[in-house]
Structures are given as structure tokens and as C-alpha cells.
Amino acid sequence: MLLMKFFSGPLTFIALYLAPYEGLSSEGRIVLAIFGWMITWWMAQPVPWGVAALLPLVLFPGFGLMTIGRTVGLYGQNVFFWLLGTVLLGYAIQRHGLAKRFALWFLSRRVIGGNTYRLIFAFMLSTSICSMFISDAASVAMMMPVGISLVAYVRTVGGISPSQKTNLGTFMSLACLYGAVAGGTATLVGTPYNVLSVGLLQTLIGQDLGFFDWMKVGVPVWITSLGMFYLVLCLFLRPEVPHLPGGAEFIQQERKKLGPLSSAERATLFVFVSMVTLFILPALISLTLGGEHTLTKWARVALSIYVVPPAIVLLMFCTPVNWRKSEFLLTWREVTEHAPWNIMLMCASAVGVSVALVEFGFVTFAEGLIAGLGLGPYSLPFVTALLVAVGANMVTASAVTALFGTILTPAAQLIGLNPVSMAILIPQMATGIMLPWSGPAVAIAFASGDAELKDMIRIGAVATALLAILVPGIHTLLAPYL
């Protein structure tokens, strides 16, 4: 099996290189074949993602496409340090318990009380809000123990055997997963592959996308998808206990166990507020002073969305947790252990290869290919949503985003669809929720919760189909305003 996975990459290269193309240069054909090899290995995973991402370093000079110096330069993408900063801040928020504290505070609101449906929706909403700022996998890993505790409490007060499967347990597991997925669509930092798509947009179209620009469509998609997910779960899974006796008290007890804010939590909160402030500051300056003011122009460059995450990494290294012991919020050991090196290399290489594809004429070729299919600005979003949704349930979200983003973002511009809309749509739909192997978030939800495979597939299929209608529908309405 491993041998088959290993040779799948070279065979993909040969197939793509020998395929008949019209209007693509020989260099573009080779780059496309190498990209296909990389994506195939990212899917089959005979080697780690980061190792597959290094293929251009050998193959580009080997085929005479570029010198090794120019090839190495392709890896110097903004997305690399963006991911480093946002993921490490998410790690700090999770590690020091700040996100869990917020979630329990939210769940303890009086309006929720002991009503099971309100409690589950609040749990889903709090997971979703956390997922706006840390990865969906981290949100599920952090919130799933809270959900498991609630289910265990219900089993105790309801006299349900620990070995008995319950609708409530399945509901809670999938609510955690779906809430994290919905939250990841709302902001640029919601998932690692959001910024991969933004990097492709900048490379292929030459257009930047700001933090608030994403939220113009991200927030409507988040609200709509969260409501849809909740209604689907209510339709398929009716909890055995509609009201939890003592449920509010249980949440309050869990919250009290956390105690007062620790110095680490206060330091993490300071860094998080600093990141949000730096993200929104250029927009606030522009609204106050106007788009042509000198300070506004400076802020756009000095505080661009790609500058903020590296600045946050520096701030975490300099923010003390304990002065006496010289302890800071982040240590280099934590960076080496928790930085997503695989994903960082994969995303940087995908954007880098897209630079080579642009140079050797692939964009023009792809535009002609899409134009030949007869798709227009109203049909392309729906076709894209379906293709990406199916692909994301089979392979990694990052690989699907890289593949479809490279082809469809420039094609959207050709047929009159705002390419910014396409760059946001693709990662929003790259959310596999049907199969446990679709990604880390769904794997954690399946392994930690009570959801059975048949429930995950049948409910996930309905939710994915509805998502493939709702998301492109929202983009069709909002694309002209992005």
C-alpha cells in the first residue's frame, strides 16, 4: 500500500505531462505536472506534507525551469509567518485556558438555564466564536471535553448507562464539530487554508484582501451556516432529556473550578486584544482620516494583515507571565513543538508554485478552459461549492484549496465574477464533515464523542448539500460589494 502511495505522485506527473494541452507552454506543462505530483502526495501522504512541499527544490532546477536560488525564493511567502503567528496565539489561548473560560462564561448565562436545546446551541455558538480566532481542530479539542462532561452529567441525572448511545451525545459531538466549522468561515484567521486562498489571490490576481473585507461575507456565511447546522441536528437528533435538572448549576460549578484569571491568562488576553487592535487599526484610521491621508497609507503598509502575525509572535516572546522566574508567554521550545511546520511548508510551496504557473502561462490556459465550459458568474459559484465540498471530504482541505484556488480564482475574473468572492468561497467550502479522515477537526470529534460513523455520514451529507447551496447563494448576492 505504501509503495502504491509513493508511486502515485510520479504517475500523476507523467499523466499530466503527457496529457494533450492547447495553449500551454512546455514549461507550464512541467510546472503543472509537478504541482499535480505534490497535491497527489498531499492526498495519499506517503511522506509528510512538508516533505512533499520540497519537491520543487529538486525538480525545478532539474528540469531547467529555474535556478535553485530562484526556486528557494518561491518559498518566501507571506503565508508562512502568518500561519506561524496565528497558530501559536491559538495554542496560547488554548493552553492557558482563556478560550475555555470564555466558553463556560457564555454557557452560564441565565437565558440558557437548564433547557437542553438552548444549552446545546450556546455550546455550539461558543465553540464557533472560539473557532473564529483559533483553528477548528483546536476549538474542537478544547470544547469537546466540556461537551463530554455535560453528556456525562445528563447520563447521571437521567439514569442512562454509560455504554448506551444517546441522541444527546451524538448531538453534542456533531454540534462541537459543526460549530467549529461555521466559525472558521467568519474571519481570515479561522482556518490555516483561509490565508492560503488569500495568498493565491494576491499571487494570481495581484489583489490584497483585508481582515474586514473577508468578514463582509464571512459573517453572513457564519450566521447562516451555524443556524442551518443547528436545525439539521435538531431534525435528526432529538435529545432524550429536553430539560436538564440542575444544568445551570453544573455549568456554574465547572466555571468556579477555573478560579480567578491567572497571570498567564491575563498575558494571553493582552496579546489577543493587541492582535485584534492591529488588525482593525488601518481600517479605523482610514474611516477617521480618509483613504488618502498619509497616516492611512502608512498604516496599510506597516500594519498589513501579513505584518501583524509576526509582530504577535515577537510580543508573545516579550510578554511576561512571571517576572521573578523569567517566564514569558511563549518559549522557543513551544514554537518547535507546536508550530504547524508541515502546513506552513505546504501552504508556502503551494503559493510559490502558483507564482511559477503564472510565469509560464497557466492562468491564461485555465481561463480558456473554464470559458470553454460555458459557466457564468451565477453558475460558477455553485459548481465550485459542490466540487470543493466533495473534494474536502475525500482529501485535505489545504490540498483542495490549493488546487481549486489556482484554477478557479483567475477564471472567475475572466467570466465577470469578483475573484475576491471566489477566493473566500473556496476555503469556506473546504470543510469535510462527513468522514473521520477528512481532517483533524472531524477526527477529534469522532474519536472523542458519541457520534457513530453512520450518523456522521448521513447527517454530514445533508449538511454539506445545504451548505453547497447556502454559501454560493450568499456569495452571489454579496460578490459585487466585496
User: pLDDT tier at 170 (50, 70, 90 boundaries)?
Assistant: confident
Specify the 3-state DSSP secondary structure of 19.
coil
Cβ-contact 83, 364 below 8 angstroms: no
pLDDT of residue 78: 78
Contact criterion met (CB below 8 Å) for 479 and 417? yes
Q: How many CA atoms lie within 13 A of 353 on its CB side?
A: 32
The pTM (predicted TM-score) of the whole model is 0.73
The top-scoring range by mean pLDDT among 158-162, 380-384, 406-410 is 380-384
Q: Delimit the domains of the chain by residue range.
A: 27-77+340-481
Contact 136, 343 (CB under 8 A): no
What average pLDDT does the structure give for the chain? 83
Q: What is the percentage of the chain residues whose pLDDT exceeds 90?
A: 25
Average pLDDT over residues 301-312: 83
Residue 444: what pLDDT? 72
| Residue 133, pLDDT above cutoff 90 | no
- Euclidean distance between CA atoms 33 and 39, whole angstroms: 10
DSSP codes joined into one string, 246-262? THHHHHHHHHHHT-SPP
Give the number of other CB atoms < 10 A from CB of residue 4. Answer: 10
For residue 76, what is its C-alpha cell?
518566501
Residues 6 or more apart whose CB falls under 8 angstroms from that of 324 comprise: none
3-class state of residue 280 by DSSP: helix
What's the rounded Cα separation, in Å, for the pair 482 and 470? 18
SS3 content of the chain, % helix, strand, coil (to 5): 75, 0, 25
